[in-house]
Each structure stands twice: as C-alpha cells, then as structure tokens.
Structure 1
Amino acid sequence: MAIPQELFGEKLILPSILSADFSRLGEQVSEVIAAGARLLHIDVMDGHFVPNLTIGAPVVKWLAPVVHESGAYLDVHLMIDNPDFFLDDFAQAGADALSVHIETCPHIHRTLAEIKERGLSAGLVLNPGTALGAIEEAALFADYVLVMSVNPGFGGQQFIGESLSKLRRVRAMLPPDVALQVDGGMAADTIPSALAAGAGWLVAGSAIYGAEDPAGEFRRLQAMVAPGL
C-alpha cells in the first residue's frame, strides 16, 4: 500500500532502523511506533553504489506485519545499483514507499512510474554532490524528494551544512503536495534549521537509537517538529 496522502503534509520524524540494535529489532521498532512514529525508514545498501552492506527484502518482509499491524508505514530507501531489478521484491515484501537515487536511474521517469504502478509511494533521492538540475523535471513525478545531508553509506555522520541551501531550493521547486525529506545528521541541534529550510520528513537514526531511551528521544524530537502530534 502507499503512504496515506494526509501524511505528506505533516511534519514527521522517521526513525531509521540502520542504527537500531538488530538483536532486538522487532522490540526497538515496536517501541518507537508505540511512541507515535508513523513512518519507519529502512536503508538498503548493496556495497556497490555505497560502501556498506545492510539488509534486503527478507528483513522488510519480516518487519512489515509488525509495522502495519500498528498502523505505521515502511519507507524503504534503495541505495543500490539497478534498483529497477528489485522493485517487485520490495513491493511484495511489504514496502509502502520506495525511494531511488537519481544517480542510479538513467530512466528515472520510468522507474518512478513503475514504483507507483505497484501501488507504492515513489521517492526521488539526490546525494550531497549532485546538482539540482539533475532532478528539476523528474521531481515533479515523485511523491517525495529525499535530500541526503551526508554522503550515504553509514549512520552517525555529521550534517553537511551546505545541505540547507539545497533544501531551500528543492522546496521552492516542488509542488506543495510533494513531501521534502532529509536524511543525515538529524538531531536536536540540526532539526530546527532543516525545518526552517523546508524539510517536512526528517530521518533520525543514531540520535534515536543511540539514546538511552529511544522511544523517549523519538517523542522529544517529534515534539520539536510538530508539538501538537
């Protein structure tokens, strides 16, 4: 299923399971959902496009019932070469949204359309060093755009300050109903500036799962972006 349209207009913290304790993954995911998380962010890395290996469709398939039964949704970020080959795998595993990098999709309009044809929300991602011109037209075919504010591959990196200018420029080019997501270095000290630059969905991994009380830290960060939620 796709992410409900009403969530695209909300300010949300998306816990990233990349930084979770995988020996207690179900428990840690359930804790942040119980604390109010609506979207869970999953980073899929192949060791080719980015210098790290993480998880694949089997983990998404295992998590999907845990997440969906609680009324939350799975946002799957494909940091992989040839993502078109794997759209069916992740759709069948239970992803609600798939985001793909402009850097790995020579036929990006087709890739975004194929994600939507599978009943999922389609996201477009650009790396810190990628010029905005690369996505200017393609972004209009996406449900959301993800601006990486670190070089992808690892959690716990420092926020790249120049990303704020990119966020402002991307927000200005997007229709109001297209969500702007930011991923990388999101914590209590960087969230306010990212919000001010136009981000609405903020991915936080180590800030949440590196805290002594991940659920409590999620609530604190969510209160920063949307005090009423």
Structure 2
Amino acid sequence: MAHCCINPSILSADFANLQSELHKIRTADAVHVDVMDNHFVPNLSLGLPVVQRLQEVSPIPLDAHLMIEHADRWAPAYADAGLASVTFHAEASIAPVKLARELRARGAKAGIALRPGSAVEPFLDMLGELDMILIMTVEPGFGGQEFLDLTLAKIRRARAAIDASGLDVKLQVDGGITEKTIQRAAEAGADVFVAGSAVYGADDPAEAIARLRAAGRRPEQ
C-alpha cells in the first residue's frame, strides 16, 4: 500500500491553546498551517510571528499553506523560519519557478497550490522544481466546507503526470476531507491529506488521525 500522510489543519484548532493543540496531533505527519491575508481569500488567520512561534514549539513538522497575495515577496520568510514545507498559490505568484527554487534554497520543500477552478496543466512542466502540488478540494478561505467531487478529475490528471515524470512529488488535497471523502481522493491519486474538523472535531484526535490514515491508503500502482 502507498504511504498516506495526514496533515491536520490548525485552522480548526483552539487558537487560545495552540501549543497544547499541536500536541494533540503529534501522531500526524505534519501540521497544516493556513496563512490567510484577507485579500487573496476573504478571511484572516495566522501571520509570520505566530507561525515562527509554532515552529519553535511544534512536535511535528510545519506545512504552510500561504493563501496570500504577493507570494513571491512574502513566502521566502516562511522558509527562513525553518518550516519543513511552504506552499504558495499559483494564482498569487508572478514567477513560480523562481519562487520554488528560492524556497528550496532556503531549506524548505516547495509546493504549489491550485484553486478548484485552476487547471493543473500549465504547471506540469515545472514538476522538477516542486516537492508537492496542492489541489484545493474546496474554495480556499474557510474550514468546514464540503468536498468538491469535480476536483477528482484534476487529481487524476496530476497523478498521471507525476507518475509519468518519475519524480518524487507529493499530491496533497485540502478541503472537506473526512473518512468518506479521503477514499475518493486517494483512489484518484492523492497521497497527502489535510483534515481540519475531521481531526480537531473528534473526541480523540489521535484516533481520528489513525482512522483517516487507514482510509486514505491506496494500492501501489
């Protein structure tokens, strides 16, 4: 079975107790940190100072998802903060290849994110510059939305391109991930899953992570 990574979204955590909330998900592969600027998306969340502090206290790696304008300008600072992975939106970057190279040069894995309505094909030629593609399975900006099945075809196309390239590029999905929807996303080819309310809304987050990990495993091709 292919490895399945579960990255709970801190957007669904208790913001008054973030350090303890991180320890509730220490069995996860990474914590997904949503950074929103109230411009690229109509919501405001954590900024760099808070993310820097989370990096200092987290028991697991940080995987940042930057839903911000002017990604070329702001994203490198998150790599400088020591985060394991920094993902910027294709729609917010003027020079995505340059930015991906800069993130890698600063020690972070580089990811590119796509809104549900954005095509993946224009970015497949830069697979060699990336460590991850994030396909949004809801419109970015708010947690608790329902999974959009229309994204499954895009996930399949991205998986086919990654497999054909022979490169080690992760395929992440974010939005509406539950024990039910994770199976559909995994069958389409995703191998990294962001889950917010499905983890933090559970009585036992560690048990929820284990269940999601079991449900999200897909057979080796």
- Structure-2-length-normalised TM-score: 0.91
CA–CA distance in 1 between the matches of 2:120 and 2:29?
29
Q: Name the CA shift for 1:130/1:226 in 2 (closer, same or farther; >3 Å).
A: closer
Give secondary structure in 1 for the equivalent of 2:103: helix
CA–CA distance in 1 between the matches of 2:213 and 2:22?
16
Give secondary structure in 2 for the equivalent of 1:41: strand
Which segments of 5 or more consecutive residues in structure 2 lack a partner in the other structure?
A: none
Alignment counterpart, residue 108 of structure 2, candidates 120, 126, 139: 120
Give secondary structure in 2 for the equivalent of 1:124: strand
CA–CA distance in 2 between the matches of 1:109 and 1:88?
13
Give secondary structure in 1 for the equivalent of 2:56: helix
Which segments of 5 or more consecutive residues in structure 1 lack a partner in the other structure?
A: 1-8
**Amino acid paired to 2:84:** D
- Structure 1 residue 212 corresponds to structure 2 residue 203: yes
Checking the alignment, whether the CA contact within 8 Å between 1:109 and 1:141 is kept in structure 2 is: yes
Alignment counterpart, residue 41 of structure 2, candidates 45, 50, 54: 50
Alignment counterpart, residue 15 of structure 1, candidates 8, 28, 32: 8
Report the CA distance between 1:221 and its aligned residue.
Answer: 1.2
CA–CA distance in 1 between the matches of 2:106 and 2:46?
21
Give secondary structure in 2 for the equivalent of 1:162: helix
**Amino acid paired to 1:11:** C
Q: Which structure 2 residues correspond to residues 1-229 of structure 1 after superposition, within 5 A? A: 10-33=3-26, 36-67=27-58, 70=59, 72-174=60-162, 175-176=165-166, 177-226=168-217
The number of equivalent residue pairs is 214
The residue aligned with 1:4 is none
Give secondary structure in 2 for the equivalent of 1:114: helix
CA–CA distance in 2 between the matches of 1:75 and 1:138?
20
RMSD, aligned CA: 1.6
Report the CA distance between 1:226 and its aligned residue.
Answer: 4.5
Give secondary structure in 2 for the equivalent of 1:131: coil
